Structure 1
Amino acid sequence: MLIYLAQNIGILHSRFDVMFDLILRATLSLFTSFVICLWLGPYIITRLQKIACSQVIRINGPQTHFQKKGTPTMGGVIILLAIIFSVLLWVKMYNAYVCCVLFILVSYGAIGFIDDYRKIIHNNTVGLPARWKYTLQSVIAIAMFIVIYISGRDIYSTALVIPFVKYVIPQTGILYLLLTYIVIVGTSNAVNITDGLDGLAIMSTVLIAAGFALVALATGNMRYATYLHIPYLRYASELVVVCASICGAGLGFLWFNTYPAQIFMGDVGSLALGAALGVIAILLCQEFLLMIMGGVFVIETLSVILQVGSFKLRGQRIFRMAPLHHHYELQGCPEPRIIVRLWITSLILVLLGLISLKVR
């Protein structure tokens, strides 16, 4: 918005050209979203406490979680407001990539909001029925595919970049629809599943967003893209600003969400952030890279799938409780230790993902 106004009003001259620098705008976006979270956090926490908008604790969950009863939820609203305001403030207007991410953030955030609201009203952990949640997620994911498809060749690409493989970039063709659906819906629910310990999901999201900011920077630059043998996408560089705003908002929210949490982000935050990471990966043609950098989300989701499958087929559980972080809790591992170790794992996986682009 500021860039658009400056260009049209004509107040910027050559000595202010640095304002158009992508890195500077991304940095300002990060600090803006971070400050907004710090500013809104205390007010929203107090407001949610007054209206008794607190997290419903699972009865069959770890006993230590009952200490968290009364902690306000739906804090993801803080994150989304910070991201949206920061992006609109610092991004160059009329960028299709940015519009796609904002659309997903708002739509999946709305689904999460309804889910959280129903949990609070009915005082249980059911929330929005699974069939309705997945139906809404599926419709939006398919709509996202259609938008990308009809938006033109500048942003539509069915290329699939395979990590550690340099000269093989297959075209997915019609399978692109299925890939889009799996990545968006799968990542959204994976982040939601991982969001069970204070600060675990949000810090992993921040690290992945930082990794994708570097990938977007390279993808939007022809020289870097050619050097790394990845598709050059002309307008992808604006995603650097978007990813930076996600990092800033995530760090700002972590200020209040770190152990012991003052607020939980709820489904309104986890579903939206997961879907946003999925869309960013799709737009950058880096779906496989998301699987590497988001390995913690993948492992947590697989633990649930394996647990349910094993119990239904054999009548036996693989883990003491799923997702995986609850298994470690029941083994006696302190929550802060689990959180920090999974943060370290996420950092290593993000670095591994970035290395995979270089060694292709």
Structure 2
Amino acid sequence: MLYNLLYPLSGHWTVLNLFKYITFRTIGAILTALILSFIVGPWMIRALGRLQTNGQPIRTDGPQRHLLEKGGTPTMGGALMLLAITISTLLWANLANPFIHMVLLTTLGFGAIGFWDDYNKVTKRNTKGAPASVRFLLQSMLAIGVALYLKLSSPGVFGALSVPFFKELNLDLAWFFLPFAILVIVGSSNAVNLTDGLDGLAIGPTILTAASFMFITYLTGHAKFANYLGISYIPGAGELTIFCGALVGAALGFLWFNTYPAQVFMGDVGSLSLGAALGTIAMATRHEIVLAVIGGIFVLETFSVIIQVLSFKLVGKRVFRMAPIHHHFELKGWAEPKIIVRFWIVSIILALIGLSTLKIR
């Protein structure tokens, strides 16, 4: 909005030329989202606490200390991030850019599904929430919508899978592009959801992944940099840097309240929407495999659940003491802060590896 309103006036006031630069507007988006989170956060947490008398339902089959320590903590704190991301993006991004519309609408769409799920959990006092099959159907429809938009708007750009470390290796997905979008976007959404089991555990890797994609979106949308690095140049994708910045700022602000011991949980309204945002950005920049590397913690958590379920169904034994895997370490006696920080350290390493793929080709 500020770009659309103020940059056209730069011919009269030279200082307004600043709004031309994505880097300047990204910093503005980060700070705006962060400040909004600090201002609105305390009020929202109090409001959620009043509306949710008993807070988020806690799994009875999980670590027993959760029932004692986390009982009564309100959920749906992800709504704070959605508010900060939306306002910050609308203020600082070029609203004529179609990528901004696509990512913002997808994020809010998944947020609405998450809100519905959280609402069912809180009102019905169970941990299952809305029907999983219906959630998956709605998520898949949104993911297919993203894929169709990308494919139809730029048929020569989207529809192939870029492989890291190789300049010219692009695998044509053909008809598989639609289910591939479901795999990336819905998979990313639910992977973040599975990771959100300890205070600050999911939001740390989310910040690192979004920050990494700030660089990736900027480079992908810059013809000279993209050509130099041997990555796909996607006109207009650079504007997504502002969205990534807004996500980083909102997530940092939320972490202030979600760090151990948490004052509020993000809930599905937060985890599903943030994961979908990351997946959609990866699709828009054609860096889906790099997302799996940088977001390796989310992949690990997801595969731990898949392995646990398959092992129990096939041979009647569990590989882990409990899945997702962060609960396995809890039951081994690791303190919650130790698990969180160590997972963050692994996320930093994975982010560095993922970013290195931009140059090593």
For the superposition of Structure 1 and Structure 2, which TM-score range results when normalised by the shorter chain?
over 0.9
Q: Who is 2:92 aligned against? A: 90
> Following TM superposition, by how much is the alpha carbon of 1:153 offset from its aligned partner in structure 2, in angstroms?
4.8
Q: Who is 1:72 aligned against? A: 74
Relative to 1, partners in 2 of residues 1:227 and 1:11: Cα closer, same or farther, differing over 3 Å?
closer
Q: Who is 1:136 aligned against? A: 138
Say how many residue pairs are matched: 359
Q: Who is 1:228 aligned against? A: 229
Q: Who is 1:32 aligned against? A: 32
Q: Deviations over 1:132-152 (max 9, x none)?
A: 111111111112222222324
Task: Give runs of aligned pairs for residues 261-300 of structure 1, distance below 5 A.
Answer: 261-300=262-301
Q: Distance in 2 between matches of 1:298 and 1:270?
A: 14
> Following TM superposition, by how much is the alpha carbon of 1:201 offset from its aligned partner in structure 2, in angstroms?
0.6
Relative to 1, partners in 2 of residues 1:93 and 1:153: Cα closer, same or farther, differing over 3 Å?
farther
Q: Who is 2:248 aligned against? A: 247
Any conservation in 2 of the 1:6–1:12 contact (CA below 8 Å)?
Answer: no
Relative to 1, partners in 2 of residues 1:175 and 1:115: Cα closer, same or farther, differing over 3 Å?
same
Q: Identify unmatched segments of 5+ residues in structure 2.
A: none
SS in 1 for 2:340: helix
* AA partner of residue 138 (structure 1): S
Which segment drifts farther, 142-151 or 179-188? 142-151
SS in 2 for 1:346: helix
Q: Who is 2:120 aligned against? A: 118
SS in 2 for 1:261: coil
Q: Distance in 1 between matches of 2:166 and 2:326?
A: 33
Q: Who is 1:52 aligned against? A: 52
SS in 2 for 1:316: coil
> Following TM superposition, by how much is the alpha carbon of 1:12 offset from its aligned partner in structure 2, in angstroms?
5.1
Q: Distance in 1 between matches of 2:220 and 2:145?
A: 24
Which segment drifts farther, 210-219 or 168-177? 168-177
Q: Distance in 2 between matches of 1:253 and 1:44?
A: 11
Question: Given the two structures, how large is their TM-score scaled by the length of structure 1?
Answer: 0.97
Which segment drifts farther, 139-148 or 125-134? 139-148
Q: Deviations over 1:58-96 (max 9, x none)?
A: 001101211110001000000000000000000011211
Q: Deviations over 1:259-311 (max 9, x none)?
A: 00000000000000000100000000001000100100000000000000000
Q: Identify unmatched segments of 5+ residues in structure 1.
A: none
Task: Give runs of aligned pairs for residues 1-360 of structure 1, distance below 5 A.
Answer: 1-8=1-8, 13-52=13-52, 54-66=55-67, 67-153=69-155, 156-360=157-361
* AA partner of residue 209 (structure 2): I
Which segment drifts farther, 135-144 or 343-352? 135-144
Any conservation in 2 of the 1:158–1:285 contact (CA below 8 Å)?
Answer: no
> Following TM superposition, by how much is the alpha carbon of 1:239 offset from its aligned partner in structure 2, in angstroms?
0.7
Q: Distance in 2 between matches of 1:180 and 1:89?
A: 29
Question: Given the two structures, how large is their TM-score scaled by the length of structure 2?
Answer: 0.97
Which segment drifts farther, 228-237 or 161-170? 161-170
SS in 2 for 1:223: helix
